[in-house]
C-alpha cells in the first residue's frame, strides 16, 4: 500500500477539489455501494457489518399527531371529520 504525505495546505487544496460548488449535484453512491445494489448483502458480510433495517415512514396523519400533537382527522369539537377513516 502506498502512503502519501501532504502539508496541511496541500491536503486542504486536494480535498477542496472534491467539494462541489453551491447548487451543484452529484451521485453519492453508485455501483457496489449503491443502496439498491443486489450485492449489498455480500458487501456487508465482507465488511463484517450488520445491515440496519429501513425505518417505516409515518403516514401524514400519524406524523402530525406525533410531532405537532394535532389530529387532522378530528374537528375542533372532537368529532371525526366528514369522510375521514380512523
DSSP codes of every residue in 20-71? PPTT----S--GGG-TT-TTHHHHHHHTT-PPPPPPPPPPHHHHHHHHH---
The string of pLDDT tens digits covering residues 7-37 is 999 988 888 887 778 887 776 666 655 666 6
Which residue range(s) make up the domain with 17?
A: 8-46
In terms of phi and psi (left: phi > 0; alpha: psi -120 to 50; beta: otherwise), the region of 57 is beta
Average pLDDT over residues 42-68: 87
Q: Is there a domain that residue 84 lies in? A: no
Q: Is there a domain that residue 33 lies in? A: yes
Q: Is there a domain that residue 79 lies in? A: no
pTM over 0.75: no
Q: Is there a domain that residue 24 lies in? A: yes
Q: Is there a domain that residue 34 lies in? A: yes
C-alpha neighbours within 13 Å on the C-beta side of residue 79: 4
- Counting the structural domains of the chain, the total is 1
Q: Is there a domain that residue 77 lies in? A: no
Decide if 26 contacts 20 (C-beta within 8 A): yes
57, pLDDT greater than 60:
yes
Q: Is there a domain that residue 58 lies in? A: no
Q: Is there a domain that residue 60 lies in? A: no
58, pLDDT greater than 90:
no
Residue 3 dihedral angles phi and psi, to the nearest 5°: -105, 135
Amino acid at each position: 500500500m502506498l502512503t502519501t504525505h501532504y502539508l496541511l495546505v496541500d491536503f486542504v487544496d486536494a480535498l477542496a477539489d472534491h467539494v462541489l460548488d453551491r447548487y451543484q449535484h452529484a451521485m453519492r453512491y453508485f455501483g457496489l455501494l449503491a443502496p439498491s445494489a443486489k450485492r449489498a448483502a455480500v458487501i456487508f458480510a465482507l465488511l463484517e457489518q450488520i445491515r440496519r433495517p429501513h425505518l417505516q415512514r409515518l403516514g401524514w396523519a400519524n406524523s402530525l399527531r406525533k410531532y405537532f400533537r394535532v389530529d387532522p382527522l378530528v374537528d375542533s369539537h372532537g368529532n371525526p371529520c366528514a369522510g375521514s377513516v380512523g
